[in-house]
Structure 1
Amino acid sequence: MRQEDRLGSILRRLNEHGSVGVGALAEELAVSEASVRRDLQLLERQKLLTRTHGGAVASGVLYELPMRYRGGQNYEAKRAIAVRAAGLLPADIASVGLNGGTTNTEVGRALAERGNLRVVTNALNIATELAVRPTIDVVVCGGSARSASYELVGPLAEQTLSNINLDVVVLGVDGVSPTAGFTTHHEVEAGTNRALVRAAERVIVVADSSKFGKRMFTKIVDIAAVSDIVTDAGASPADILALENLGPTVHVVRPD
């Protein structure tokens, strides 16, 4: 397991349980206790936990895992979701909006080989990857950078987005619920996401099945506001039916 993936696993366990032990982590992650101690030291330097005798405890409450430690979660499902979402876009499409997140990072990579495409994004990492592609015209909105998601958010971002029109927005979310709608952790981020949705003629949501049934702090939009949802086979038939009854078409992928 890569160190980045180990660090993400440690933070997820802290988020769930509040504390972790060196011995249990070494066994679960199949590495030495010395490796675990080095990982804990690194995370402590980043102020993400507090080490204790034999383990660590959470520094405050970890409501949102930093994006740099989320890349390995459900990677195959996210990649398959991204490929399907990119396949839903017509060949002659001119403009696509992308917000941030690990699944939309994969959508950006899936779009990288398309020609004559303008991508509008508030995600710094996606913009960096696509800016080197000569066939992609990248537009980045302004705003304040969120370290947890690498996104530019806030009034400056929303002002930019209010003056453009997009053919499609592919929207990554943190929670999907028939009653709560599409939700995310951060209220300012949600406002910028709503600005992206308002700019679009069509909205496609990409969300792996771990997001289903979750209600995060802030609502982005209702389920009925989007045309399509792309997810993986971990979503239950009951969840899919409940979402489709509200309007969107749900596309289910099965990673190889």
Structure 2
Amino acid sequence: MRWTNERKRYKKKVEGKQTVSARARIVDPGAGLLNEERRRAILEILNRESRVLVLDLARRFETSQVTIRKDLETLHAHGLIHRTHGGALPAHERALEDPTLREKEKLHRQEKMRIAEAAAGRVQEGQVVILDSGTTTTEIARALRNFRNLTIVTNAVNIAAELSGTALEVILTGGTLRKNSFSLVGPIAEETLHRLHADLLFLGVDGFDVQYGLSTPNLLEAKVNRVMVEIAKRKVAVCDSSKFGRKSLSLIAPPSALDEVITDHGIPKADARALKKTGIEVTLV
């Protein structure tokens, strides 16, 4: 009788542990039975946001960073993602991809606002500043609205509109309108820029590979950007860290053409080291 009672107590104890374990698997998204579901969700987030960070994913899925790192390593091993320090990027960036300005505005908004604030801190009254087209440079334009004595040169129709009604002098290059980016390109834009000189250029990019250089999907846009680089005394690339490790169709300039890069802390450490090694100032926000 005593042996029977002990067996019953032991069975109850084991069943209790199994019940707790089962509940843990349901509650904890990081548990083993949900690995594939979580990894599919990570891919969906990556496709939607163009970059993922280990810390952010651990918070979203309420699991450990170790678990997320294992997930990313598994996805990387299957060729589904490109593993970077602290996170991951899409495995195969599309060189011809040319999303609209409105599509890009939805991505990495907080990072772009911090970058814009840091960029505005580089500007002094009385300067001539070039703003390339793009969502990050649009945020910079907004950050410059309270200046009193600046000349802004831009090929972006939306940036000119952002600065209308301010005390700033705005020079719009003219040219052929690209509806995707609200930018003006072509010979007219290039000729206008060739007649000017600027103290400072803030250049947004679609791709930033530390070996290949800065790039954009559109050939005409790249030509205009190259002229901007030529006529500016100080050249500053402004881009969130999702742009690193990416190559677009048309090269704008090598990294050596830059004086500074302003980006967020998600930049791969190897890329930051490579840029600093060539004498480029790297500012993380």
TM-score by length of 1: 0.73
Letter in 1 for 2:138: T
Partner of residue 163, structure 1: 195
Are 1:93 and 1:167, in contact at CA under 8 Å, matched by a contact in 2? no
Distance 1:94 1:213 in 2: 33
Distance 1:246 1:111 in 2: 30
Deviation of residue 93 (structure 1)? 4.1
Identity of aligned residues (%): 40
Are 2:125 and 2:147, in contact at CA under 8 Å, matched by a contact in 1? no
Are 2:126 and 2:151, in contact at CA under 8 Å, matched by a contact in 1? no
Kindly indicate whether residue 98 of structure 2 is the aligned counterpart of residue 64 of structure 1: yes
Letter in 2 for 1:77: E
1:159-198 alignment, distance < 5 Å: 159-198=191-230
Secondary structure at the residue paired with 2:111?
A: helix
Distance 1:226 1:115 in 2: 27
Distance 1:246 1:93 in 2: 30
Q: CA RMSD in A?
A: 1.9
Distance 1:118 1:161 in 2: 14
Structure 2 unmatched runs, 5+: 1-43, 51-94
Which one of 143, 147, 163 corresponds to residue 110 of structure 1?
143
Structure 1 unmatched runs, 5+: 1-8, 16-60
Structure of higher CA gyration radius: 2
Secondary structure at the residue paired with 1:158?
A: helix
1:1-256 alignment, distance < 5 Å: 63-89=97-123, 91-133=124-166, 135-253=167-285
Secondary structure at the residue paired with 1:201?
A: strand
Are 1:142 and 1:156, in contact at CA under 8 Å, matched by a contact in 2? yes
More helix by share: 2
Partner of residue 29, structure 1: none
Divergent runs of 4+, >2 A: none
TM-score by length of 2: 0.66
